[in-house]
Copies of this chain bind each other. A is one copy, B any other.
Amino acid sequence: MAKSSFEYVKTFELDDTLLPNSWIVVRLDGKCFHKFADDHNFKKPNDIRALRLMNYSAYSVLKEFNELLLAYGQSDEYSFIFKKDCNLYKRRAAKLLTIVNSKFTSSYVFYWRKFFGDEELKYPPTFDGRLVLYPSQENLIDYLKWRQADVHINNLYNTTFWALVLKGNLTPSQAEKRLSGTLSADKNEILFKEFGENYNNEPEIFKRGTLLTRKCIIDEESKKSVKIIADVHDDMLKNNFWKDFSVHLMKPK
């Protein structure tokens, strides 16, 4: 079996090593998740079961790959950040992209029942992924701020939209028209005046998304230091957050 006469095809696989000393971000997005959410009766505007399943799947990725520093998720997307000196798989792009993508996806299906109980998973979902490099800590922080600003904008819109539809009895297209051209302040006012809702009182996980980070805590009993993965729903747009937090970026572990 002249395997060797075909082996030349291996040389067509080109080297995709990533630039050293830069942060590696892998972002996953649910494919066709509008339909997926409808097919699985996701609550509007936010389904806490779905968010917790996303978070738990991300947690399972972080637990597996130590070179991952943190992860940030919202809605049907999740970003994973590798340490800037990460050398896992010699920084080969396709490897890093697919192991995160695959582990997240399989966890999503595997743990579905844990969060959705009797709501059965009807078909296997798909997440796509992309990989981006950030050369400086400032760029990386701006990336996370960008994703969190996105949560805010989308969630305020969705919260108001679904209040108009579910409580205000508008049709979706009427609600869309009503919100067209409105600013944040307008939406806050609609929520408050028409539905008695204070957007500020919405759960932090809806307004801010979820940041998963590694922490060391002292175990009460054993008095020993234990590494854990913690979920945080803080305001990352405030610079104060990063003053306290940036140590995590620089000195992982």
Binding site for B on A (CB under 8 A): 1-3, 6-15, 17, 19-22, 28, 31, 60, 64, 94-95, 97-99, 101-103, 105-111, 121, 123-136, 139, 142-143, 145-146, 149-150, 152-153, 184, 237
Taking a contact as CB atoms under 8 Å apart, the answer to whether A98 and B124 are in contact is: no
| Chain B min CB distance to A241 (Å) | 14
In addition to A9-B143, A12-B132, A28-B98, 8 A-B residue pairs with Cβ atoms within 8 Å of each other are A3-B149, A7-B146, A9-B139, A9-B142, A102-B125, A105-B105, A106-B124, A106-B126
- When chains A and B are docked, how far (Å) is the Cα of A27 from the Cα of B227? 35
- When chains A and B are docked, how far (Å) is the Cα of A212 from the Cα of B106? 23
CB<8 Å pairs between A and B, sample of 6: A12-B132, A15-B15, A94-B97, A94-B129, A94-B131, A106-B108
- Number of this chain's copies in the assembly equals 4
Taking a contact as CB atoms under 8 Å apart, the answer to whether A20 and B15 are in contact is: no
Give which listed residue, B21, B28, B95, B133, contacts A139 with CB less than 8 A: B21
- When chains A and B are docked, how far (Å) is the Cα of A149 from the Cα of B110? 34
Taking a contact as CB atoms under 8 Å apart, the answer to whether A19 and B99 are in contact is: no
Give which listed residue, B12, B13, B152, contacts A1 with CB less than 8 A: B152
- When chains A and B are docked, how far (Å) is the Cα of A132 from the Cα of B143? 24
Q: With A3-B149, A3-B150, A149-B6 as given contacts, are A99 and B126 in contact (CB-CB < 8 Å)?
A: yes
Q: With A1-B149, A6-B149, A146-B6 as given contacts, are A126 and B102 in contact (CB-CB < 8 Å)?
A: yes
- When chains A and B are docked, how far (Å) is the Cα of A142 from the Cα of B136? 17
Give which listed residue, B17, B98, B133, contacts A129 with CB less than 8 A: B98
| Chain B min CB distance to A170 (Å) | 25
- CB-CB < 8 A to A107: which residues of B? 124
Taking a contact as CB atoms under 8 Å apart, the answer to whether A19 and B106 are in contact is: no
- When chains A and B are docked, how far (Å) is the Cα of A8 from the Cα of B128? 22
Q: With A1-B152, A149-B6 as given contacts, are A98 and B95 in contact (CB-CB < 8 Å)?
A: no
Taking a contact as CB atoms under 8 Å apart, the answer to whether B19 and A130 are in contact is: no
